[in-house]
Amino acid sequence: MNTKKTKKNILPNNQRVIWIIGASSGIGEGLAKYYASIGAKLILSARSKDRLYQVKTSCKGNPMSVHVLPLDLEDKASLSEKAREALRIFGRIDTLIHSAGITQRALAIETNLSVAQKIMDVNYWGPVAITQAILPSMQQLGQGHLVVISSLMGKIGTRFRSSYAASKHALHGYFESLRPEIYDDNIHISIVCPGFVNTTLGEKALKGNGEKYQKKDEVHARAMSVPQFVKRLIPHLNKQKEEIFIAGSEIKAIWASKFLPGKLFRKKIREAKVI
């Protein structure tokens, strides 16, 4: 482990090897298209091999610089080998982006424990397993950037999102604790907290019995597009900013949680319309 506090220069994005988990749709797909367009070497991962190849085809730039590596975050036993396979592709990982996730549309009491476990496996345990498998190689390189796409729900909790909020709170706890442990290794962590973004995340949300919600909520339909979100996000990632909030009016909930008295804030949360 490198105990020196002198920092190496940040590699330009077009010279970085970037592994994007959750690259088949949404923010992960948007980031893949951006980084491919500037010449970065990419590894794209998600469950659907076919969808990943569709994303690869849509990426501009050298197709030899974009590699598809399907994986299933629920299959924790396979993730160490997937990490080793990712490292063999280009010889290193400079930036690891955790963008995969599933959300929820159910009251806590109506959510089967198997559904809660699935959400935790995909949103928390999968990213932890891959991070721990990749970290030694970043320490050996003496540099690295971990990007965690979390949510405003990593900071607050609302009805119908108990397991989802729990998984995102867990991500914050793990990566905030990891941050000082790897500071001297010149490995940076950016935790990204999006508000509403117009993706298919809501439609793929799980109901309490595990069935998909299969509806796009009005608030998501009116939300910022993925390209708009990525455009706002990239400057913060370039600076390796530690915590990044990108949201519309829903960002007010974060400021309210910081400045309103706790009892009043919780009353506001109870009264909020959540879908």
Sequence letter at residue 109: I
Q: Specify burial of residue 145 (Cβ count, 10 A radius: 0-12, 13-18, 19+).
A: buried
41-72 burial code (b ≥16 CB/10 A, e <16)? bbbbbbbeeebbeebbeebebeeebbbbbbbb
For residue 145, the 8-state DSSP code is E
Is-contact 148 127, C-beta < 8 A? yes
Active-site amino acid positions: 164
Q: CA 151 to CA 156: how far, in whole Å?
A: 9
Q: CA 126 to CA 88: how far, in whole Å?
A: 20
Is-contact 58 35, C-beta < 8 A? no
Q: Which residues are within 8 A (CB) of 67 and not within 5 positions of it... i.e. 6 or more apart?
A: 42, 43, 44, 89, 90
